[in-house]
A and B are shown apart, each in its own frame.
Chain A
Amino acid sequence: MSSAATPQSDKAAEEAQLRAVWENPSGWRYWTSVNNTQVGLWYGSTAFAFMLFAGLLGLLVRAQLAVPENDLLSAEFYNQVYSLHGTVMMFLFAVPIFEAVAIFLLPSMLGARELPFPKLGAFGFWSFLLGGVFVCGSIFFNAAPNTGWFMYPPLATSEQAGIGADIWLLGLSFIEVASLAAAVELIVGIMKCRAPGMRINLMPLFAWYLLIVAGMILFAFPPLIAGDLLFEMQRMFDWPFFDAKRGGDPLLWQHLFWIFGHPEVYIIFLPAIALLAMIIPTFAGRPIVGYSWIVLAAVGTGFLSFGLWVHHMFATGLPQISLAFFSAASEAVAIPTGVQIFVFIATLLAGRVVFSTPMLFAMGGIAIFVMGGLTGVMVALVPFDWQAHDTYFVVAHLHYVLIGGMLFPIFAGLYYYYPLIDGKHMSDRVGRFAFWMMFGGFNITFFPMHLSGLRGMPRRVFTYPADLGWDWLNLISTMGAVILGIGMFAVVVDVTLHRRRQPRGEVNPWNAGTLEWISEPEENWGVRSIPRIESRYPLLDQKDLASEVKRGEWYLADAREGRRETLVTSVLDAEPEQVLRVGGTSYVTLVSAATLGTVFVALTFKWWFVSAVSGVAFLAAVIWWLWTGTGHIPEKQEKDVGRGLSLPLYASGVRSVGWWAMFITMVGDGTAFASLVFGYFFFWTIHQDFTGGLAGPGVLWPMTALALFVAAWAATVAARETNRRGSVALARMLCLAGAALSIGGCLAAIAGPWITGMDPTDHVYPAIVWILVIWAAVHGAVGAIMHLYCFARSLAGRMTPRHDMDICNVALYWHFMFVTAFITFSVVGLFPEAL
């Protein structure tokens, strides 16, 4: 099937126009690009660089431990080295690399021109880069975090932790913002921007995994953000959340950290397995066996991974019944994990396997991961864990899981997908050499750690005496680490030097069937035209699809209006719904990331004024971003996208991608709020009288605040409805009234603990009440800004009864605000009265 015959010259002109619209700026303005290909590459390269840096730190650790009584590193520097090694590997490599791969691959894999919020992707990258450099750079000033990658109080809240703890907390909070931004981008992209016809039963498995992982981020990262907030309030202002003397409890941090930390392991593991789910069918020469079973495994793992966090806390003295629930869930998660492995094995058995370099890394990764999984089943048992806790056995286990489950698959992905970057191939010989060095080196390094752990060697010691039977095991580990390092170095050489001499090869050298192999590395437009998909492996099953796409015979082959556009389709069946105009090259992402970064850096050094000014600048940048980049009223209602299909250019409410972005963001925000409420009830649970005999905020002010916030919510909903019905003036008045009511709510919220004289440094009860009230008040203030924003948009003619995306999204925000206010003020105002 092909469109009406278009003269060749018209097609050439169409192509030139499309190229011009998607072109990157040149010179230093190149860095203002927001295109997914560039941002994905920057993201990936940066994460890779951080990984090499952390790898060098790992080698330093091994050098120090090579022989007993070694004095190569001082104890303090060793603390910084291993803390930063873990922190960088987890936060600056393992999670961001998957965001990088997803941003780079997903649009073409889904048959989209671009993800729905390219500026958000670029903002995420710049936040990640700035935060990462800040955290990594600290070690050159002897100021790196030195209390381990999970920052346990009371050590990390003590003076001994130094500024490194603040750098960890604030630097990583900043990076967590980037992860949440990526989650929003990926969920909306996968649900709403797939090529027409790509129903959910035809979606590439990579997209299934990424959808689950992005959902997990929404529920896993916010508890850590909430924990960081409490932690930093203690370090900066002496609010005693983790100070047992004043009613606090260090265990709360462990809960919040591991509610994040355990799902994070699967947030790291699933995308890597997703790469294998793309690579294995290609080299087995057949479709994956058990597509639905993979979906079962991904969703099942995603859920069960949230029931595991206490297995990191088996040795903290919780009731045995609690430990047992988590032990049971930890064993149960082996089922979906095993399903994934067996699906891969079945696919390989049913196909004719080509043992290419990517397959070597894939198989090596699976073998290593299975070993790590088996020791995982061991440490999930409470009695065994009590023996192995905080020993090198756990160090061995976690490296087997993460390096087998993440690093090797990432390398498999690098060798597999490299041709998509610039059409060149990685060297097969170097790749095989690197694989065997890495595989051998890895096992020589980490297998002996099982034994040193069982012989009682604790984690994180900077040296050890000679007569404990640990020396030769450690020496072997160090030798293995050097071999592993040589293997990794070979890959670095291949990427940076060797492949430059390579000629350009085929773009799809593996004869893969999924859509990402249609993309043209020299072009920026993602896909030349957006096809209709009818198979899980369209390049194999839909004859001539690639050439039809490249000839621009499918949808949206042009950019007549000079705008960057992609298609929005329905969630289940991917039926076309809208032409979405996405953001182009812009400074606003850089400015937003730089100002927000300055807020976090200034807070670290307690430069309050700089922090406040940067905060205002960030707010201004975001408002500018939204004002100029969202809710644009198109010059016409519909656009002809080719093949007789005409689609609207504007959508609001549940049909718009902006509404979904708000919904997803607020789910994450709600999870952070729920974590703070968890903190409140945690303190109630562990104390006989959790108020410590101190007065609460009373009932009057919290109830007044609640009433005002509910009224502000009602005004927002009324503004949306009246605007929709054409009563624009009334809608404007309601926006103003909503802002006033909301500000009144904020003041009443603060008045409760303020007037009753609650001092947050006295005891944990006033501190947790203050935190909840401040959380609600800040959200109320943001809500008021949104009211004023809608008022201004209406005045400026950018929001009309027909084009009401802004007020629809703000109303959605206020639904969440309503719930936040209801819970906050019921808890702080009414709960103490009910006791």
Chain B
Amino acid sequence: MWHLLPRQVESLWTLFTAPVVWALHFLVCYVGGAVFCEKPHLLGSDFGNLRIAIGLLTVMALFMIVFAAALAWRQWGFGTGDPPHDDPTRQDRLLFQGYATLLLSGLSFIAVIFTAMPTLFIMECSR
């Protein structure tokens, strides 16, 4: 049977999904911008294209974070239980993981938008 969301993964690593997306987005923005400005013509010469590329990348990153958040929301039982999730049960541990992952997705979402915002205002490779 087809499901909108993939099967649940039980791992500590899922906690870090959204921040990792932020880190990759940040790295590509920084490296892309630096190479664009330091190596004229290698990645094109129109700064507008760089802005569009970063815009597209940002949309992709935000989409991935929203997806991670949706998985986290499911792990959190779609918000049916309230924190603190401190019972000594597997169920509460899962809810805690889901909730913490959801919070981190929110922070990463905002941080990705922060990173992309300069491209709204900066028009050239000035120093």
A contact set with B: CB distance below 8 Å: 191, 197, 199-202, 287, 290-293, 295-296, 299-300, 302-304, 306-307, 317-322, 324-329, 331-332, 335-336, 533-536, 571-573, 685-686
Q: Is B117's CB under 8 angstroms from A328's CB?
A: yes
**CA–CA, A327 to B96, complex, Å?**
32
As a 0/1 sequence over residues 64 to 103 of chain B, the CB contacts with chain A under 8 angstroms (1 = contact) are 0000000000000000000111101010110111011001
The residue in A295, A327, A535, A686 that gathers the most chain B C-beta atoms within 10 A of its C-beta is A295
CB-CB < 8 A to B122: which residues of A? 320-321, 324
The reply to whether the CB of B12 lies closer than 8 angstroms to some CB of chain A is yes
CB-CB < 8 A to B83: which residues of A? 290-292
Closest A residue to B51 by CB, please name it. A321
**CA–CA, A688 to B5, complex, Å?**
48
Closest B residue to A571 by CB, please name it. B12
Known: A296-B103, A336-B107. A201 touches B114 (CB 8 A): no
Interface size grouping (class) on chain B: 35 or more
Q: Is B37's CB under 8 angstroms from A300's CB?
A: no
14 A–B contacts, CB within 8 A, in A order? A290-B83, A291-B86, A299-B19, A303-B22, A303-B108, A307-B26, A318-B34, A322-B33, A322-B37, A325-B33, A328-B117, A328-B118, A329-B26, A535-B88
Question: Which listed residue (B84, B93, B125) contacts A200, Cβ 8 A?
Answer: B93
CB-CB < 8 A to A336: which residues of B? 107
**Nearest CB of A to B113, in Å:** 9
Known: A318-B127, A324-B122. A201 touches B104 (CB 8 A): no
Closest A residue to B95 by CB, please name it. A201
**CA–CA, A329 to B27, complex, Å?**
12
Q: Is A304's CB under 8 angstroms from B111's CB?
A: yes
Question: Which listed residue (A197, A292, A325, A534) contacts B26, Cβ 8 A?
Answer: A325
Question: Which listed residue (B88, B119, B127) contacts A202, Cβ 8 A?
Answer: B88
Q: Is B111's CB under 8 angstroms from A533's CB?
A: no
B contact set with A: CB distance below 8 Å: 10-12, 15-16, 19-20, 22-23, 26, 29-30, 33-35, 37-39, 50, 83-86, 88, 90, 92-93, 95-97, 99-100, 103-104, 107-108, 110-111, 114-115, 117-119, 121-122, 125-127
Question: Which listed residue (B16, B84, B97, B115) contacts A325, Cβ 8 A?
Answer: B115
Q: Is B86's CB under 8 angstroms from A332's CB?
A: no
Question: Which listed residue (A287, A326, A335, A535) contacts B107, Cβ 8 A?
Answer: A335
**CA–CA, A328 to B114, complex, Å?**
5
CB-CB < 8 A to B92: which residues of A? 199, 201
CB-CB < 8 A to B86: which residues of A? 201-202, 287, 291, 535-536
Q: Is B118's CB under 8 angstroms from A300's CB?
A: no
**Nearest CB of B to A445, in Å:** 34
Q: Is A292's CB under 8 angstroms from B85's CB?
A: yes
Q: Is B104's CB under 8 angstroms from A299's CB?
A: yes
**Nearest CB of A to B77, in Å:** 14
CB-CB < 8 A to B88: which residues of A? 197, 199, 202, 533-535
The residue in A320, A335, A533 that gathers the most chain B C-beta atoms within 10 A of its C-beta is A320
CB-CB < 8 A to A296: which residues of B? 100, 103-104, 107
Known: A319-B33, A322-B37. A292 touches B103 (CB 8 A): yes
Q: Is B93's CB under 8 angstroms from A201's CB?
A: yes
Q: Is A300's CB under 8 angstroms from B12's CB?
A: no
Closest A residue to B15 by CB, please name it. A299
Closest B residue to A534 by CB, please name it. B88
The residue in A191, A324, A326, A571 that gathers the most chain B C-beta atoms within 10 A of its C-beta is A324
**CA–CA, A335 to B34, complex, Å?**
27
Closest A residue to B90 by CB, please name it. A573
Question: Which listed residue (A292, A318, A325, A685) contacts B100, Cβ 8 A?
Answer: A292
**CA–CA, A291 to B99, complex, Å?**
11
Q: Is A685's CB under 8 angstroms from B35's CB?
A: yes
**CA–CA, A335 to B22, complex, Å?**
15
Closest B residue to A197 by CB, please name it. B88
**CA–CA, A317 to B121, complex, Å?**
19
**CA–CA, A686 to B42, complex, Å?**
13
CB-CB < 8 A to A572: which residues of B? 10-12, 93
Closest A residue to B30 by CB, please name it. A325
CB-CB < 8 A to B121: which residues of A? 324
Known: A291-B84, A325-B30, A573-B93. 19 other contacts (CB 8 A): A199-B92, A202-B88, A296-B103, A296-B104, A300-B107, A303-B19, A304-B22, A319-B34, A320-B122, A320-B125, A322-B33, A322-B34, A325-B29, A325-B118, A326-B30, A329-B115, A331-B114, A332-B110, A572-B11
